[in-house]
Structure 1
Amino acid sequence: MTTNSVGTAYAEGHGTIHIVPTVHDAAFDSFAEQHNARCHPETRTELLCQIREWAYNPHGEIIFWLNGVAGTGKSTISRTVAMMFADNGLLGASFFFKRGEGDRGKAALFFPTIASQLIRKIPALEPCVREAIHDDRAIATKSLRDQLEKLIQQPLDRIGQAMVILIVVDALDECDGNNDVKTIISLLAQANVLPLPIRLGFKNVQGRYENLALHQIPEPIVERDISTFLRYELARIRDEYNSEALEGLELLPDWPGEHVIRTLAQMAVPLFIFATTICRFIEDAVWSDPADQLEKVLQYQTKTYGSELDKLDTTYLPILSQLTVGRTDLQKSHLLAEFRDVVGPIVLLAQPLSVSSLARLLNISPRALSARLKTLHSVLSIPPKADAPVRLFHLSFRDFLVDPTKRAAEFWIDETKYHQMLADRCTKLMLQHLKRDICSLRIPGKRRSEVDQQTIVVALPPEAARFDGGFVVAGKKPKSPLEWWTV
């Protein structure tokens, strides 16, 4: 197997190269996933033990179904499980869906990607998959059922694979298209092929599966695990801060103390995302020292919330409220407008953009955009290079900002308004860059499917290439078809 720069895997043999389109960033150990968290060794021990017992049980159900509300740590557990099975040789493939990450947020290449990874695990599959592709060169564009049968199920049947292989699939709820998700679930549940750990499910699932709901794990166990995580992370933050602090200004050796850790854990339960986010906030030197940052978080401990979505206020408000502290009403209004104009597109874009591309899309300078993002390192993954994509740390940040029940909140983002704005900006950019034969093919009538993706990437500015009509659907419809093309 070899790969090219645009994410297509090639299976070579008999002098012929057959193409299996794959989503390389979807694998748990991909470059895109390398900095995402795994479980601390002393947390989730009972849960991981249960999953391990299921995997080694020859009479266990085909699917292990892990579900829970947003922010309870499902993806972190999935990455840990994938790494655990990879280390002991049981992992056959993994696919981590991610909304807004191009093909990672779509079902179209799910089964081809799984097939490609299985070939690396089981080389004997390659001739069978190659034959399936030779018989139907368009298999990657066929129905999900056909893809599963021809690229995975039939090849496995032909080689008589007896060894147990596991596939980890994470964040199916972040896959665009509910019908595609339901189809994947139905096919996996009915396919008598492989044990599958799947992260999230729907109510109407045909087939048998073992279920574990994170929000049903006893609260004392969740609180214990969150306390362990906080104790480790805050000790690390303290030690790193003290290593650079002036003499006499260090944090106390036992900072922040067991009482504070218990308080934070109680505030967090059952949301692990609260613990990880506030640790990033406490560590962020842009605002103040860790002790002062911690006090800002503790100010929210007396608030009560009616739902887990409401509880996201405790996670994100201590961070965002710092943007407007000490500002006049006029300054506050200006800063909130800037926040929405910058963060709105970031949380709504179908695919993340770099600082440079975002700046062009928003019609501001990259330096100005970088300055505005500087205070958001706790909630956004902002790379050191201007040409690398800006990403959300967690989808719950988007949920918090666009929650329709919070229209009166300071940081609420109107999805319709900003989809409309993105549609307008992308249209204007396309008008500036589109031209006849933009890819310099000099072959009239050549199909889009015949053009190498890298050729398109080079020819089109990425911020303009993101326009696929989705903003038009989500935003307000134009008065006439020509309205989109009016500069």
Structure 2
Amino acid sequence: MRPCLTSACSVPSTFNNAHDFVIGTANMINNIQMLDNQNTVLDLLEEKAMVSAMLESAERSYPPRCNPETRQSVRSRIVEWGTQSDRVWRMLWLSGPAGVGKSAVAQTVAEEFQSARLLGAAFFFSRPNRREEPDVLIPTLAYQLAICHPGYKRIISQRLADNPMILKNHRRSQFKELIIDPIQSLLDHDPHIIPYPLLIVIDGLDECIDREAQREFVEMIGSHCRMVERFPLRWMICSRPESHLKATFSNADWKITCLREQLEIDDREAQEDAICILRDGFTKIRRRYGDQLSPNWPSSSHLACIANAASGHLGFVSFIIRFIGDENYSNPSGQLDTCLRFLGGLHTPGALNPLHALDLLYTQILSSVPPYDLPIVLRILGSSILYGQKLLTTAVQANFLGLDHAIFYRSLQFLHSVIFVPPASEANTRSIRVYHASFSDYLKDSGRSGGFAMDEAAVHLEVAIQSLRWLNYDKIELEPIRPATKWLLAQEHNETILRDLKMFSAESCWKACPRVHHDSLDQVMEMLLRFDFDLDYNNWDGSVAGDFAYFIRWLHLLVSFSNEIPENHFYGLLVQGNRNKRLISINDRPSFSLDSVYHQDDPQSFLGVFTQNPARIQLGRVSVQLGNVNRINFNLVVGGDTPRFAFQPTARNFLMQFRS
């Protein structure tokens, strides 16, 4: 049997169905004195509690709430879980990335249970609002339970009157003395005194300032749920999926007693909810500014633009709506235009930022990363954002960057709310993934992220250098620059990881080298002079072949530029005093006995940098000699009608050939 959340539950009274009774003066005085004592003890409890963290606190006058049409499926499952007395799970963990609406779900669910008089207590942690101290949680929950249930209030008042030092005990003692034992005493006296489960909501646990306390709360609640089969409390804990909380909730013994719900980004329901929030928000703005806006404002294309950028991130659309409807500007059309320019990448430095609130959230999260780990974090994020692909699994990425298992996971432990970090058991098959593009955009824009900005030039340089090293991993003669595998798995996985490291390097190297800033090109040139271009070209796919063709073009331009300007810092490295160290040579008279690289492009625009001979350009090919170590020779053939690239094995060097 379960209660209905649309009707209030009756509260048992001492005088229910009583008649023909006499109130004695002495008993009345005793009752008044007992009531005074209870209120005095309640005042003492209030002093230790944090009233501002409660559901209806004045300091939470405008808390986030779910739109009636959003998050319906997860809210209905939570209501079902919280109201069925025969459920095994008495603890629920609602998790999700930063800014996706966990607090809105917690607030809405708590209000629904309160309207049915089934809410025992609620606590909303918030670091920005200074609701972050762990020691106030249990007194705040006890204070609300005392207001909710007269019998509990009587017992806890007596306990505190007998031993006021309980409020100075450690948290586990308070949990037992103030929460568990008083309710158990009620049940021992009358097993039906609390007919329906009471919901306890703890929102934003990850914003509690003490990570050890976060674990402790989960452990002691989970331990009680596991050991006591029947108890009239349901615990709903909401947090970001931080690494230490994931580890705590992953305790195998709690799988029976803990139910999990996760708010996703970019699934179908989230995308539909985002559009719902946008439409509802724009409707309210039109009503507020009816004299400024037409009935069909904004256009469907503008709404679709914002919805596509949001990709199901409900916090994103909420911040956008708040920005457009900001009464401090009272200019929704102008704010919408600013928003669309921002999302289109057309904003200028100093312009208004529609996602300022989201940026503050990202800044808060990154601020928790220890300074000694931040450079590693930015290296990992940079390679994932600028060069992430299927081959870049967690294990491949760690080895590519020269990071061992422990350092890799330690550095990311504070970022699980903005990126997906696969467990170590899945490191050889799954990749790090940024939950939402707004975080990548934030890192790329130093005006938004400040000291947490990603140095894209440094990322390109590292990827170029490391790719060249891994591509020559098997070259014994290059042992001094040979990279080392820092994270070893089972033997069968190590072979796969090494293969994927080489393929990822091939797919990234030819893109990264031309992107390296000119101030750092000497490091790349030093590597290329020692680089053996005798590679396993037959395993490359068409996209790698195309990138390689552009790399050849870039390298030729770079060397030619160095030759023409002797004072250039590449001149001495590439030409002066050592002409045997030419990385690339071009002959506009190609030899038809050589293998060929076929590339799709306009011959005039692509080959014009190699030769000024119109006949050779019309022929569409030049001869290339590449490398200082194990030089390779081939024809670079360019044609505008080539739809894609393909490699075919040959007896010598390699052949990159069009396949129709």
2:90 pairs, out of 49, 62, 67, with 62
* Distance in 1 between residues matched to 2:145 and 2:284, nearest whole Å: 39
Q: CA deviation at 1:44?
A: 1.2
Paired position in structure 2 for 1:274: 316
Tell which structure's C-alpha radius of gyration is larger. Answer: 2
Matched residue type, 1:197: M
Residue 409 of structure 1 corresponds to which residue in structure 2? 446
Length-normalised TM-score, structure 2: 0.45
Give the conservation status (yes or no) of the 8 Å contact 1:284–1:378.
no
8 A contact 1:402–1:414 mirrored in 2 = no
Q: Identical aligned pairs, as a percentage?
A: 26
Which residue, 364, 367, 381 being the options, matches 1:398? 364
One of 165, 168, 180 as aligned partner of 1:138: 165
Q: Deviations over 1:134-153 (max 9, x none)?
A: 33322222111100100010
Task: Indicate yes or no: 2:39 matched with 1:39.
Answer: no
TM superposition shift of 1:377: 10
- 2:267 maps to 1:219: yes
Give the one of 172, 176, 182 matched to 2:215.
182
Could you say which residue in structure 2 is the equivalent of 1:364? none
How far apart are the structure 2 equivalents of 1:135 and 1:167?
A: 26
Deviations 1:389-435 (A, max 9, x none): xxx997446347898544971244559xxxxxxxxxxxxxxxxxxxx
Relative distance call for 1:152 and 1:39 in structure 2 (3 A) is same
With 146-155 and 30-39 compared, the bigger mean Cα shift is at 30-39
Q: What is the identity, as a one-letter code, of the residue corresponding to 2:216? A: T
Residue number in structure 2 paired with 1:210: 259
TM-score relative to the length of structure 1: 0.60
| Distance in 2 (alpha carbons) for counterparts of 1:119 and 1:299 | 53
Quote the Cα distance in structure 2 between the aligned partners of 1:168 and 1:175.
14
Number of the residue aligned with 2:490: none
1:149-185 deviations in whole A, cap 9, x for unaligned?
A: 0001000001114331111110000001111010001
Is the Cα–Cα contact under 8 Å of residues 94 and 238 in structure 2 kept in the other structure?
Answer: yes
Distance 1:202 1:168, change over 3 A: same
Question: Which position in structure 2 is the counterpart of 1:171?
Answer: 204
Residue 241 of structure 1: aligned partner: 289
Match of 1:53 among 64, 67, 80: 80
Counterpart in 2 of 1:199? 238
2:306 is the alignment partner of 1:264: yes
Residue 295 of structure 2 aligns to which amino acid in structure 1?
P
Distance in 1, matches of 2:205 and 2:359, equals 17
C-alpha separation in 1, matches of 2:354 and 2:301: 27
2:321 alignment partner AA: C
SS at match of 2:150: coil
Shift of 1:289: 2.7
Q: Any idea what the Cα deviations from partners look like across 1:239-293, whole Å, max 9, x if unmatched?
A: 21224xxxxxx32211113332232122112321211111121123555732232
Aligned to 2:120: 92
Q: Contact 1:78 / 1:168 at 8 angstroms: preserved in 2?
A: yes
AA matched with 1:211: R
Matches of 1:146 and 1:283 in 2, distance apart? 49
Give deviations 1:44-103, integer Å, cap 9, x for gaps.
11111111111122224111111000011000111001001101111010000111434x
The yes-or-no answer on 1:107 pairing with 2:107 is no
In the other structure, the counterpart of 2:486 is none
CA contact (8 A) 1:401 1:413 kept: no
Partner of 1:162: 194
Counterpart Cα distance in 1 of 2:300 and 2:354: 27
Counterparts of 2:308 and 2:355 in 1: how far apart (Å)? 21
Displacement of 1:237 after TM fit? 1.1
| DSSP 3-state at the match of 1:65 | strand
Matches for 1:473-484 after TM superposition, within 5 Å: none
SS in 1 for 2:93: strand
Q: Residue in 2 aligned with 1:151?
A: 178
Secondary structure of residue in 2 paired with 1:138 = helix
- The answer to whether the 8 A contact 1:78-1:170 is kept is yes
SS of 2:446's equivalent in the other structure is coil
Deviation at 1:42, TM superposition (A): 1.2
Amino acid at match of 1:114: L
Corresponding residue SS for 2:261? strand
CA gap of 1:25–1:135, structure 2 versus 1, over 3 A, is same
Distance (whole Å) between structure 1 residues aligned to residue 103 and residue 78 of structure 2: 15
Structure 2 CA distance for aligned equivalents of residues 297 and 254 of structure 1: 18
SS at match of 1:202: helix
Alignment correspondent of 1:255 = 297
Going from structure 1 to structure 2, the CA distance change for 1:287 and 1:100 (only over 3 Å counts) comes to: closer
Partners in 2 of 1:29 and 1:285 — Cα distance?
Answer: 25
Name the counterpart of 1:443: none
Show the 5 A alignment for 1:413-424: 413=450
Aligned to 1:22: 49
Distance 2:138 2:117 in 1: 21
Tell me how far apart the structure 1 counterparts of residues 354 and 304 of structure 2 sit (CA, whole Å). Answer: 25
Change (3 A) 1:47 1:166: same
Deviation at 1:379, TM superposition (A): 5.0
Q: Deviations over 1:422-473 (max 9, x none)?
A: xxxxxxxxxxxxxxxxxxxxxxxxxxxxxxxxxxxxxxxxxxxxxxxxxxxx
Q: Which has the higher contact order (CA 8 A, sep 6+)?
A: 1
Determine if contact 1:379/1:397 at 8 Å carries over to the other structure.
no
Q: How many residues align?
A: 321
2:104 aligned to which of 70, 73, 76: 76
Q: What's the secondary structure of 2:209's corresponding residue?
A: coil
For residues 412 and 61 of structure 1, the distance between their equivalents in structure 2, rounded to whole angstroms, comes to 41
Runs of 5+ unmatched residues, structure 2: 1-33, 188-192, 226-230, 240-244, 379-442, 453-660
Q: Does structure 1 retain, via aligned residues, the 8 Å contact 2:38–2:153?
A: no
Indicate the RMSD between aligned Cα atoms, in angstroms. Answer: 3.0
| One-letter code aligned to 1:75 | S
Distance in 2 separating the partners of 1:63 and 1:398: 28
Report the residue type matching 2:274 in the other structure. Answer: I
Residues 280 and 378 in structure 1, CA contact (< 8 A), matched pair in contact too: no
Of 20-29 and 403-412, deviating more is 403-412
SS at match of 1:191: helix
